[in-house]
Structure 1
Amino acid sequence: MTSTDQTPHVDADAELKPNPHATAEQVEAALKDTKLAQILYHDWEAETYDDKWSISYDQRCIDYARGRFDAIVPEEVQRELPYDRALELGCGTGFFLLNLIQAGVARRGSVTDLSPGMVKVATRNGQGLGLDIDGKVADAEGIPYEDNTFDLVVGHAVLHHIPDVEKSLREVVRILKPGGRFVFAGEPTSAGNVYARNLSTLTWHLSTSITKLPGLESWRRPQSELDESSRAAALEAVVDLHTFDPEDLERMATNAGAVEVATASEEFTAAMLGWPIRTFEASVPPGRLGWGWAKFAFNSWTTLSWVDANVWRRVVPKGWFYNVMVTGVKPS
């Protein structure tokens, strides 16, 4: 089966119309429509998403993206890089693919997302880096490319947003060339999501309550911004559709027609620190924390990630880590 391309191509002159600020009424409507919620939430986040998650396109995030790829892809495949043409599914701002291209994993790429705002930012980021990138607004359950188009398909924190994950993986296998590979990273595990959500919620309540105290007003974001963040959080609860056990991802990938399927997980103590840090950062005015805080946050996460990979991975079940990644190959 070959997909019909019915979605607009995005280039430097494309005029996308994202909706960057959702009203309470729009949020209410989106609560009843999963895909509308995806578009609304990610349009809302697009222009500030890189800052919110400390995403960059320098060596720090190049190494991070390549590290995720190397953690799941066999060494013999790594020696044969780069792939010629790659696609990022649910690209967001292009973080994963753009940094993988810079890391030598692929020569050129395409980005897709259900959110026009995200496709706009991702293509702009790619062009700013001088990379060979094109983009399309697309539904992951009906990817608008011909069979056997890509050598590599990647995604980061995207599968948990897709209503029918197995259907999407079948589409991924369809558009891959025979022998082509997919790599999806950054998906929440069922166990990890419990402690991450609880720690994040607790941090938000503590931060927004403490900054009401006398003398701490300068640490409090304006109430209108806090209200908007709360509306975004309400949508986030709608757009995050799934958590995964590693064996569930393996089963879905195999059912989709992939071979050489494998999963790996990461971030245990790093997630227990990372989620409160990110939540605290979102609760205070932008720029209030400064470079010293950013350096502390990153170095702490890096240190705990090393401990997770070299200590806890030996004794903690794979499903207890926060992130799980999956890879597979289209049969030759």
Structure 2
Amino acid sequence: MTSTHESPAPNPHATAEQVEAAMKDSKLAQVLYHDWEAESYDDKWSISYDQRCVDYARGRFDAAVPDEVQRELPYDRALELGCGTGFFLLNLIQAGVARRGSVTDLSPGMVKVATRNGQGLGLDIDGRVADAEGIPYEDNTFDLVVGHAVLHHIPDVELSLREVVRVLKPGGRFIFAGEPTTVGNRYARELSTLTWRIATNVTKLPGLREWRRPQTELDESSRAAALEAVVDLHTFDPADLERMARNAGAVEIRTASEEFTAAMLGWPVRTFEAAVPPGKLGWGWAKFAFGSWTSLSWVDANVWRRVVPKGWFYNVMVTGVKPESPAEAAGS
């Protein structure tokens, strides 16, 4: 069963005036940017709802959550903040982490796509446009709250975590994955910028122009990138995330990080893919890119994690639990 709460309509074609206004209003920027991206977002980020991404989502959950919790799955009702197209929660449900869920996002376009994706998968999902700093659900509603690459978009992260703890049932858990570290974000952006410059200039050369997207598409990507710089508000040190979760009232807080060499490959690959015409690279490229990322992720997890500081990896995850009682909260 899938239903959508009455919500504002998506706006995938923002005017120049709206974009200009969004440069001074981060929440408007969030809505315009993500409405703009909603219908093409899965393709852009190679998101799917098959075994590949089911395994990826479950892997992020397992990396952050203690083994004893994993043996007691599934949770009954889950909430995803900043759901995008539903990637994290829909795949976690398919992976057996939860039975049913609610997807929320500030972008009407993303909520529309996420609930449509849930319907296509036959999952028990409802969707609602919602601000993560004021989650529109009652206290003690959910057994699990999740998010992927969402906290860095929220102006007041600690306020949002307080809201997360509020809507969780006592003993309920949250997990947020895919958040950029301060160090990781620096090298990812530098590598992406360099790759974009090289790709868009080399494809101007005779004999390589068939590899170049039309200039109007490149210009639109540049405008989207300008908005992206407005919507990406934070980077994190793992210790800072732990502190904010503790201040929000959570207990049993843990962080984990991933993607070191995998990010150094992944960001140039994604940027190159955005610079060339869709479909130009083919299945062979997709297989190479995913296989290489998977291999480097293994190296990161089994080799570099032993010697490289947690904050140097690109992604950080945080998980915590709502106290069962006031005494437990006071003891945290």
Aligned to 1:52: 44
Structure 2 CA distance for aligned equivalents of residues 17 and 329 of structure 1? 35
What 5-or-longer segments of structure 2 have no aligned partner?
325-332
Report deviation, 1:12.
Answer: 5.7
Give the structure-2-normalised TM-score.
0.96
Aligned to 1:5: none
2:266 counterpart of 1:278: no
Report deviation, 1:216.
Answer: 1.1
Residue 308 of structure 2 aligns to a residue whose secondary structure is coil
Structure 1 CA distance for aligned equivalents of residues 272 and 10 of structure 2? 27
Q: Deviations over 1:136-163 (max 9, x none)?
A: 0000000000000000000000000000
Structure 2 CA distance for partners of 1:150 and 1:225, relative to 1, 3 Å: same
Match of 1:38 among 24, 30, 33: 30
RMSD: 1.1
Aligned to 2:216: 224
Give the structure-1-normalised TM-score.
0.96
Report deviation, 1:134.
Answer: 0.1
Aligned to 2:122: 130
Aligned to 2:299: 307
Residue 11 of structure 1 aligns to a residue whose secondary structure is strand
Q: Do the aligned partners of 2:139 and 2:169 also contact (CA within 8 Å) in 1? A: yes
Structure 1 CA distance for aligned equivalents of residues 185 and 14 of structure 2? 26
Structure 2 CA distance for aligned equivalents of residues 25 and 17 of structure 1? 19
Residue 58 of structure 2 aligns to a residue whose secondary structure is helix
Structure 2 CA distance for partners of 1:161 and 1:13, relative to 1, 3 Å: closer
Amino acid at match of 2:288: F
Report deviation, 1:23.
Answer: 3.5
2:148 counterpart of 1:192: no
Structure 2 CA distance for aligned equivalents of residues 89 and 197 of structure 1? 25
2:314 counterpart of 1:322: yes
Aligned to 2:73: 81
2:164 counterpart of 1:172: yes
Amino acid at match of 2:271: T
The within-5 A match list for 1:1-332 is 11=3, 17-332=9-324
Amino acid at match of 2:210: S
Residue 79 of structure 2 aligns to a residue whose secondary structure is strand
Q: Do the aligned partners of 1:155 and 1:185 also contact (CA within 8 Å) in 2? A: yes
Structure 1 CA distance for aligned equivalents of residues 167 and 226 of structure 2? 34
Structure 2 CA distance for aligned equivalents of residues 72 and 93 of structure 1? 22
What 5-or-longer segments of structure 1 have no aligned partner?
1-9
Q: Deviations over 1:57-86 (max 9, x none)?
A: 000000000000000100000000000000
Structure 2 CA distance for aligned equivalents of residues 175 and 209 of structure 1? 50
Structure 1 CA distance for aligned equivalents of residues 13 and 208 of structure 2? 28
Deviating more after overlay: 284-293 vs 17-26: 17-26
Structure 2 CA distance for aligned equivalents of residues 24 and 63 of structure 1? 40
Residue 99 of structure 2 aligns to a residue whose secondary structure is strand
Structure 2 CA distance for aligned equivalents of residues 224 and 14 of structure 1? 35
Q: Do the aligned partners of 1:141 and 1:164 also contact (CA within 8 Å) in 2? A: yes
Residue 134 of structure 1 aligns to a residue whose secondary structure is strand
Residue 288 of structure 1 aligns to a residue whose secondary structure is coil
Residue 146 of structure 2 aligns to a residue whose secondary structure is strand
Q: Do the aligned partners of 2:5 and 2:127 also contact (CA within 8 Å) in 1? A: no
Structure 2 CA distance for partners of 1:41 and 1:56, relative to 1, 3 Å: same
Q: Do the aligned partners of 1:92 and 1:122 also contact (CA within 8 Å) in 2? A: yes
Amino acid at match of 1:266: E
Aligned-residue sequence identity (percent) comes to 87
Amino acid at match of 2:266: G
Structure 1 CA distance for aligned equivalents of residues 7 and 66 of structure 2? 41
The number of equivalent residue pairs is 323
Q: Do the aligned partners of 2:172 and 2:322 also contact (CA within 8 Å) in 1? A: yes
Q: Do the aligned partners of 2:7 and 2:129 also contact (CA within 8 Å) in 1? A: no
Amino acid at match of 1:302: T
Report deviation, 1:13.
Answer: 9.3
